Structure 1
């Protein structure tokens, strides 16, 4: 009986400790994000509500940061107008927001070259891999836009699916 009581108490303490752990899912009560603007050359991502900048983050890009993504595996971050089209709460890079690459123009170009345009471009945190690579090389992704895990928690809360993202050279 004492053993059962001890095990029950231990299980309750573990459950209580787990419920007190900080969540990666934050809430956001500020103005709505109406557009994201990425300036690749400045390594900066801006969040706008109307014409007002409500957030700015330093970013890492694909491991070949110059030029527009054309094909799977080229290591480039796309350029152009896209949309946030999905979210991944279980990303290996902490949290992530999907970018609607490839668009019709991207896919058509790649197919005319007999190549795959690629897919799975995200704004994401670092996760374990990025925490190792980011201090060594700023542009370490396979074509995504990377921020710190803490920043990604804020971004994940701020941005809604359907938000336009303009990625400039």
Structure 2
């Protein structure tokens, strides 16, 4: 097998046409391969790739919200990935029962939708009302409400001074909802505790 010699000059590579040209600035395919192999063997490329992989975060498999402690936790199995301070509805005590009551629901739900054009930066929809909530509302003869989200911070400066300012949603900062948005896939279960 003959080795083909390549001339590298003026930003172009092409086969060398004579011995003089070959003597100017030559690379053989074999030497180029040896240089590439040396780069990878040195560990330079894998170390860089490993650094990138280490920055990837596991996705949340469950969200737990404690209204009492004003905390939202993203979990992967039993491991807590992230913990955030939260703001709730303007009347946070108790379970949401009717539209406009200002309460944040309690119970088992899941993330059922995403809104990248939310009035509150980004938002993840919570599947309230569930079947139990609907049955309770029917029995009471009331509208259970809906459109409960985890979303970013307030737009009005007056709301920034309030502990609980939403209409029943769970609010975090805009930077935090960006992080939550990337770690929480649609379909993730959420448990909201009183």
TM exceeding 0.5: yes
Please list every run of at least 4 consecutive aligned residues from structure 1 whose deviation after the TM superposition is greater than 3 angstroms. Answer: none
CA-based RMSD of the aligned residues comes to 1.1
Q: Hey, what's the Cα distance between the residues in 1 that align with 2:56 and 2:71?
A: 23
Q: Hey, what's the Cα distance between the residues in 2 that align with 1:39 and 1:109?
A: 22
Q: Deviations over 1:43-68 (max 9, x none)?
A: 00001001000100000000001000
Structure 1 unmatched ranges of 5 or more:
1-27
Equivalent residue pairs, number? 140
Structure 2 unmatched ranges of 5 or more:
1-54
| Shift in Å, 1:127 | 4.2
Q: Hey, what's the Cα distance between the residues in 2 that align with 1:72 and 1:94?
A: 23
Equivalent residue number for residue 109 of structure 1? 136
With structure 2 as the length reference, what TM-score do the two structures score?
0.70
Q: Paired residue for 2:159, among 133, 136, 140?
A: 133
**Considering only CA atoms, is the larger Rg found in Structure 1 or Structure 2?**
2
More strand by share: 2
Corresponding position: 1:155 with 2:180: yes
Q: Paired residue for 1:40, among 64, 67, 76?
A: 67
- Secondary structure of the structure 2 residue equivalent to 1:56: strand
Whose relative contact order is higher, 1 or 2, with alpha carbons under 8 Å and at least 6 apart?
A: 1
With structure 1 as the length reference, what TM-score do the two structures score?
0.80
Q: Hey, what's the Cα distance between the residues in 2 that align with 1:128 and 1:59?
A: 16
- Secondary structure of the structure 2 residue equivalent to 1:122: strand
- Secondary structure of the structure 2 residue equivalent to 1:95: strand
